[in-house]
Structure 1
Amino acid sequence: MFSYRTIVVGTDGSDTSLKAVRHAASLARVYDAALIVVSAYHGDSGSLLISSPTSDTSTLPVVSEGRAAEYLDEARRVAEEEGAPTIELQHRDGAPVNELIAAVEENEADLLVVGNKGVNSLAGRLFGNIPTETARRSDVDVVLVHTE
């Protein structure tokens, strides 16, 4: 029988990302899988320009490590409400797509869950977006949660 053992999900603290966390936590409960919640932040100071979602300087607004930790605390609450059996929180310094892919690899995850925010926007189509780029680059199953 097929099963997932480790699920990675990303959050940026938004309501839409928390919907993805809720979905991932529910899957973790069903599959009795470990849930790893990732929040990417940018450790450098200064203003950033909009660029592709894979660039190390693409996260707008700039999220501090402390803010990422706050986002993860809220995500833990959501995941616990959904009954995820094991929850690990990771705040990671870097671009969201890069850090999600790295978390999948480092934790030998077999499922990646992301919200679809930006997929249907004009800016997302022109400049790229996190969900599409994550799905394109991932070597494991990806669930795009309809969050908007």
Structure 2
Amino acid sequence: MERDKERIRIVIDTNVLIGALIKDNSFKARIVKDRHFDFFFPDYGHIEIEKFRDYISTKRGKVPAAPSFDYAITFLLDSVTTVPRQLYKDQVQRAYKEMAAIDPKDTPFLALALHLESPIWSDDTHLKRQTLVPCYTTGEISRLSER
């Protein structure tokens, strides 16, 4: 069987990407670049990453010879498909209804996961409280990558 046919589709949460951006060779960064997965990210997530630009840049600056934030985000997002809201807007209302009492800011991630019929990779425990799609932590993703 070809490797491409084995790829697992997963919606990736911003907290995972931020962790991968802080340290280029972290476990999270290596998984994002792993061709075992197809990662998807709602376009809204770029706004969240931009809010943390200074924080990420400060953390990256502590690593000698670390590439710039812009280089790192371009390199990392090369392995992630950004999906415009128009393609998953059919699931936003359903996702919001589920996330309203948990964390409404994560509605786009759940809506995209519902649209793609895919799980979410997040280390935010509150996303595990929703009941519509599986949500995997980094440790659980690690076990999936070993399959």
TM-score tier (shorter): 0.3 to 0.5
Query: Normalising by structure 1, what TM-score?
Result: 0.43
The structure with more radius of gyration: 2
Greater strand share, structure number: 1
> Higher relative contact order at CA 8 Å, sep ≥6: structure 1 or structure 2?
1
Query: Normalising by structure 2, what TM-score?
Result: 0.43
Greater helix share, structure number: 2
